[in-house]
Amino acid sequence: MKKVIRLILALPILFSVSCKSLQTSLIAKDAEVQLVATDYTFTEGPALAPNGDVFFTDQPNDRILRWSAKNKSVSVYMEPSGRSNGLYFDHQGNLLSCADDKNQLWQIDPQKNVTVLIDNFEGKKLNGPNDLWVDPKGGVYFTDPFYKRPYWTRTQQEIEQQRVYYLTPDHKDIHIVAEDYVRPNGLIGNKDGSLLYVADIGDKKTYSYTINPDGSLSNKTLFADMGSDGMTMDNQGNVYLTGDGVTVFAPNGKQILHIPIDQKWTANVTFGGKNQKTLFITAMTSLYTLKMNVSGIR
Determine contact, residues 35/286, Cβ cutoff 8 Å. Answer: yes
pTM of the model: 0.92
> How large is the average pLDDT for residues 32-55?
97
Q: How confident is the model at residue 20 (pLDDT cuts 50, 70, 90)?
A: very low
Determine contact, residues 55/64, Cβ cutoff 8 Å. Answer: yes
Exposure string for 121-143, b = 16+ CB within 10 A, e = fewer: beeebbbbbbbbbbbeeebbbbb
pLDDT confidence of residue 28: 96
The length of the chain in residues reads 298
| Tens digits of residue pLDDT in 203-240 | 999 999 999 999 999 999 999 999 999 999 999 999 99
Q: Quote the DSSP letter at residue 203.
A: T
Pairwise CA distance, residues 106 & 82, whole Å: 9
Q: Quote the DSSP letter at residue 21.
A: G
In angstroms, the first-to-last Cα distance of the chain is: 28
The upper half-sphere exposure of residue 142, i.e. CA atoms within 13 Å in the direction of its Cβ, equals 31
pLDDT confidence of residue 247: 98
More confident residue, 24 or 294: 294
Domain that holds residue 216: 4-26+36-226
Within a domain: residue 151? yes
pLDDT confidence of residue 100: 93
Residues in contact with 297: Cβ distance below 8 Å, sequence separation at least 6, in sequence order: 190, 191, 233, 234, 235, 271, 276
Within a domain: residue 273? no
pLDDT confidence of residue 7: 40
Pairwise CA distance, residues 185 & 162, whole Å: 10
Return the minimum-mean-pLDDT range out of 9-13, 45-49, 56-60, 178-182: 9-13
Q: Which of 190, 191, 196 is nearest to 166 (CA)?
A: 196
pLDDT confidence of residue 24: 57
What torsion, rounded to 10 degrees, do the Cα atoms 48, 51, 53, 55 define? -50
In order of 12, 17, 19, 145, 293, the CA distances from 30 in angstroms are 13, 11, 7, 39, 11
Within a domain: residue 280? no
Cis peptide before 110 (omega within 30 of 0): no
Residues in contact with 213: Cβ distance below 8 Å, sequence separation at least 6, in sequence order: none
Q: What is the mean pLDDT of the chain?
A: 92
Q: What is the CATH number of the domain that holds 143?
A: 2.120.10.30
In order of 215, 270, 284, the CA distances from 219 in angstroms are 13, 26, 34
The upper half-sphere exposure of residue 185, i.e. CA atoms within 13 Å in the direction of its Cβ, equals 26
Pairwise CA distance, residues 211 & 158, whole Å: 28
Determine contact, residues 272/69, Cβ cutoff 8 Å. Answer: yes
| Tens digits of residue pLDDT in 168-205 | 999 999 999 999 999 999 999 999 999 999 999 999 99
Within a domain: residue 92? yes
Q: How confident is the model at residue 295 (pLDDT cuts 50, 70, 90)?
A: very high
Coil, strand or helix at 4 = strand
Within a domain: residue 54? yes
Greatest C-alpha distance within the chain: 54
Q: How confident is the model at residue 21 (pLDDT cuts 50, 70, 90)?
A: very low
Domains identified in the chain, total number: 1
Within a domain: residue 282? no
Say yes or no to pLDDT of 19 above 80: no
Return the minimum-mean-pLDDT range out of 14-23, 52-61, 123-132: 14-23
Pairwise CA distance, residues 183 & 180, whole Å: 9
Within a domain: residue 49? yes
Say yes or no to pLDDT of 253 above 80: yes
Within a domain: residue 78? yes
pLDDT confidence of residue 6: 41
pLDDT confidence of residue 12: 36
| Tens digits of residue pLDDT in 274-285 | 899 999 999 999
Pairwise CA distance, residues 16 & 12, whole Å: 5
